[in-house]
Homo-oligomer: A and B are copies of this chain.
Amino acid sequence: MANGLRQRWRADAMRTIQERALDLFDERGFVAVTIEQVATAAEVSPSTVYRLFGTKEGLLVADEFDTLDDDALREVLDPADPVGSLLAAVLRYEDAPGETAHRRVRYFFEEPSVRTAACANLDRAAQRITPLLGDSGLGELAARVAASALVFGYFAALEQWHRDGGTKPIATYVDEGLAPLRGLWPTTPAARRS
């Protein structure tokens, strides 16, 4: 069902398009590269690029998190300890060296339009997380604020990581930076970890 030829073609195409795009961006700079050039380099049509990534910035900010359905999201994020869940996700992610990840992050903080797109993405993530956080007894307003603080706090930690040169693991920054946010949730997160 999720492994038909079409899905495989789609996944492969997305990966190669993203890699080709990254090559071009690194070589000539983000703004100087047109979608048509990316499409040509990846041997697909421009419309395919738009269908798969939506926007030019989407080539860089497209994330497997976005494609997560609600059930999978609920599995990943523990409403009683969102900071811990996020940290676990980051650790899992750093273990699997996607290689393109580090190349991509640079543009988040160096290309304004990409940064904007990343913020929009985070905002969407916060909106998805908000109802889940409501499960832990938080009111709607508190859940909304907490979700924003969580995702944009993560982004802030990522920025600090980037500004420091990206040597230490990202998880360090997330753990330290978001530690104060653990207090935002009524229940004690320590009890959940084991």
Report Cα–Cα, A25/B152, bound state, in Å.
30
Q: Tell me the nearest residue of chain B to A158, going by C-beta.
A: B144
User: In the complex, which range does the number of interface residues on chain A fall in?
Assistant: 20 to 34
Report Cα–Cα, A97/B130, bound state, in Å.
31
Choose one: B119, B173, B183; the contact of A120 (CB below 8 Å). B119
Known: A120-B119, A123-B115, A123-B119. A145 touches B141 (CB 8 A): no
Q: Is the CB of B148 within 8 A of A156?
A: yes
CB of A89 within 8 Å of the partner chain: no
Q: Is the CB of B160 within 8 A of A156?
A: no
Chain copies in the assembled complex: 2
**Which residues of B lie under 8 Å from residue A120 when comparing CB positions?**
115-116, 119-120
**Which residues of B lie under 8 Å from residue A126 when comparing CB positions?**
152, 156
Min distance, Cβ A92 to any Cβ of chain B, angstroms: 22
Report Cα–Cα, A147/B120, bound state, in Å.
17
- Residues on A lying within 8 angstroms of B by beta carbon are 115-117, 119-120, 122-123, 126, 140-142, 144-149, 152-153, 155-157, 159-160, 173, 176-178, 180-181, 183-184
